[in-house]
Amino acid sequence: MRHAYEIFGKLDTPGGSEEAWKYVESDLSFDFDLVDTPGDPLPEGRFLRALTADAGRATLVDGHTVFASGSRLTALSELDDSRQVEIHSLLPPDHDRFAAARTAFSTDGIEVEIPAGTVEEAPVVIDVQAVTPGASFPAISVRVGENAEGSVVVVYRSPAELDALTSPQVGLHVAQGGRLRYLAIQNFGFATTAVIHQRAQVGRDASLRVGEVGLGGRLGRLDLGVLLEGDGGSVEVVGLSFGEHDQILDYRMTITHRGRSTSSDVYLKGAVEDRARSIFTGLLKIEKQAARSSAFETNRNLVLSEHAKAHSVPNLEILCDDVVCGHGSSVGPLDEDQIYYLLSRGLSRARAERLLVKGFFSEVVDRLPVQGPAQQVLDEVFGRFVEAQAEGRLG
């Protein structure tokens, strides 16, 4: 922690001129004053209510574990020192100033352990809240043992007007033959800044399915890295985002194929309206020894208002010639030909636009790895579009 604090003091706050923060046109000055005492938890929201069955629940408030129930869950403060150090060392402190601050200041979090050979049908549910002005750095660690199977749902949230910085760290480790379904719903209030670092390691013949839903935050940033280390490992990343008003939703993603015959499939859709901005920068990296691997990356974006912006930068780095790879992206408004067709069938323009937006997102919602809150996610996205349409905020 002392070493990380020294690095934190030396690092500058990131700026838009840095490659890792390119296209983030925002004031990047942050308050790193740590919240010492957690505030009162928020009432249960619509996404959590949709998860009627679970294999355990935990609530983290302002970086502190205030509730944990279930044999699969352990507060980080209850783990031995060596395990705590391992979890807090997931990212090197010089990765960025947020990683340094987390290692220096983070005090608590939760670990989910699914032992070898165990199959959990119901998900473990983790409610991560920021409720107090200041900074919080919660940590989540998920470990799936050999030939085990389980699912985890994380819901991030804060009050609508809370001006706070939160930087969660999520580590996912899937051992040989393991299977993990992971869904994160980022629904922080529009005044909260969230910088999430998420790392995953996938072992031999293991599979990881990741769902990412981005709805909230003044700045909502996801820094996701996946290492397909073992032969035959696979990962699927499916996600959606919807930005409005002055939101910035920023996705940075690197998937590294190290094992032979590994596979990855990234499929993300997003929409922005008003003056919102979205950024996607994805890198699929195939290392020299990763023969017979396959990797695909798709990012589709709707720009629903004149002053909204979407940036999409998919990349491939291929160091092996015995692979199958592809990527694609698109940025643009709703298709006028499709609207014209629906108008010709008797629909009003407003109804035609609603039908296209709902269809655009329905495909990816149907692919989320945990379906419990899927309908609530679609309702939230569709409701935001309908409200903007009714208020004349489009165009």
For 344-353, write each residue's pLDDT tens digit.
Answer: 999 999 999 9
CA-nearest of 140, 55, 158 to 370 is 55
pLDDT in tens, 339-389: 999 999 999 999 999 999 999 999 999 999 999 999 999 999 999 999 999
pLDDT in tens, 190-235: 999 999 999 999 999 999 999 999 999 999 999 999 999 999 999 9
CA-nearest of 330, 355, 331, 362 to 341 is 355
Q: In this model, does residue 26 exceed pLDDT 70?
A: no
Bridge partners of 149, per DSSP, are 119, 179
Lowest mean pLDDT among 80-94, 114-128, 233-247, 260-274: 80-94
What single letter denotes the amino acid at residue 218? R
**Geometric angle at alpha carbon 235, from 269 and 313, rounded to 5°:** 40
HSE of 359, CA atoms in CB hemisphere, 13 A: 10
C-beta of residue 383 within 8 angstroms of C-beta of residue 293:
no
Q: In this model, does residue 288 exceed pLDDT 90?
A: yes
C-beta of residue 307 within 8 angstroms of C-beta of residue 337:
no
**Percent share of the chain, pLDDT over 70:** 98
Domain ranges of the chain: 2-390
**Percent share of the chain, pLDDT over 90:** 88
In a 3-state reduction of DSSP, which class is residue 90? coil
Q: How many residues does the chain have?
A: 395
Helices (H) and strands (E) in the chain, counts: 7, 21
Pairing mode, if any, of strands 109-114 and 73-75? Answer: antiparallel
Say which residues have a Cβ less than 8 Å from residue 343's Cβ, sequence separation at least 6: 349, 352
Query: pTM for the whole thing?
Result: 0.96
Q: How much is the pLDDT for 23? A: 83
